[in-house]
Structure 1
Amino acid sequence: MDKLQELYEKLSEFMDHFIVKYSYENRGILKKMRIDSRLNMNIEEEEWCKLFLYKSCLNHCAKIVLMRLIEDRGLGHDKLNEKGLEKWRDFVKNLGKDFDILYHIGLLDLQGDENVSIRGIFKKSDYDIFGIDKELADLIIEKFSAVTFGDLRREDIIQLFNRLYTLEDREIMRLEAFHKDAPALTYILKLEKKNVLL
């Protein structure tokens, strides 16, 4: 199986878990966000919540791919790849399996990175209301820690996200225009217009 197919299958599995996990969580908060933002009020409330969840999920997928790409290219400290996991297990004995903590440390590192572009990709957004908990972090580690992301090209990432968020989905959902910006997802969706990756 080629790498893009493998990543597509693993990210699809992550998305399925994420959507099932959060389908009915935080509904009250989402309804309040919808009313407070006054954005996309023409969309029925239930559909608005589904679009928000789906955009959040895709934003997390983008973060996972970009975080691992940054690690494997040596642009950030290893956290979620095999080297990072080995350091984590050596460093902390009683938290060795709490990968959600490791994931969040990795995010904090990138949110404070000296590179403005990297900081912007990982900045907090409304879509972080659905977070990566222990269950999802375990899935991320299980599925992605052994996969090498460093050799992914710009075209590969575009192709991968064209499969995760198809042209048909883009026509129907129009997530780019929905609510507010999801920084990591926006970065990936704009790659087609850029000549460089990070």
Structure 2
Amino acid sequence: MNIEHKQEQFLNEIINLKQDLISSLNSESVEKYRAKYKGKYSPERFKEYFIEKIAIHAIFKYILIRMIEDSMQRVKAKLNEEGLSVWHEMSKNYRKDYDVLYQLAEKDIKREKDLADIFVETVYDEEQFVSKIERVITDYIPLLAKYDFKSLDANTTLTIIEKLYSAEKREELQRFDQPSFVINFLLQQVGLV
């Protein structure tokens, strides 16, 4: 399905993904990451920002994986409809284990020398977060598989970024010392950094 033609529907699904990620991650303690920010942000504000940055990181990672699979065709597609079909045929015992499929897709990209630096693990990829992220993304993989990420042009990408990560939020969240190479890469590609 062409993202440009179904932009509103796609945006709604991505926004729902973000909200579900934030809801899932809200139960996590992030106090150990706050040391540098004491006096700058209240514990509640810091948690809100940190959790939101984790959610944005996860969504942008998914988007980049799909763009690399669909547009660049550098790795075998796993997360689109064709990839899911192959997965269902190939793995009788793991048909609904999309978390395993997602991990395989990410590992494929990490093996590509020129892309590996983008997917370097950060604080936002720590196990306490990844397990919750994968549980939520697993529910969205079949829903988002129908979209053709080849049809994701620069204007649509800018719209998605603005809806998920507005200029005001970017200004606040980019101040965190812990960078997200995935977020930075996507922002650079569309000229926002």
User: What is the TM-score of this pair, normalised by structure 2?
Assistant: 0.86
1:24 paired residue number: 27
Structure 1 gaps, min length 5: none
1:65 paired residue number: 63
2:34 paired residue number: 34
Instruction: Please give the secondary structure, in 1, of the residue aligned with 2:148.
Output: coil
Letter of the structure 2 residue corresponding to residue 156 of structure 1: T
Residues 46-73 of structure 1: CA distance to partner in whole angstroms, max 9, x if unpaired?
2112111100100111111111111112
- Is 1:15 aligned to 2:18, yes or no? yes
Alignment: residue pair count: 184
2:155 paired residue number: 155
Tell me how far 1:156 sits from its aligned partner. 2.1
Residues 105-134 of structure 1: CA distance to partner in whole angstroms, max 9, x if unpaired?
1111112213x2x21222211011322555
- Is 1:175 aligned to 2:173, yes or no? yes
Is the 2:17–2:137 contact (alpha carbons within 8 Å) kept by the matching residues of 1?
Answer: no
- Is 1:110 aligned to 2:109, yes or no? yes
Comparing both chains, which one has the higher relative contact order based on Cα–Cα distances under 8 Å and sequence gaps of 6 or more?
2
- Is 1:123 aligned to 2:120, yes or no? yes
Is the 2:157–2:190 contact (alpha carbons within 8 Å) kept by the matching residues of 1?
Answer: no
> Alpha carbons of 1:80 and 1:137: their partners in 2 closer, same or farther (altered >3 Å)?
same
Letter of the structure 2 residue corresponding to residue 96 of structure 1: R
- Tell me the distance in 1 between the aligned counterparts of 2:162 and 2:86: 34
2:164 paired residue number: 164
Moved over 4 A (4+): none
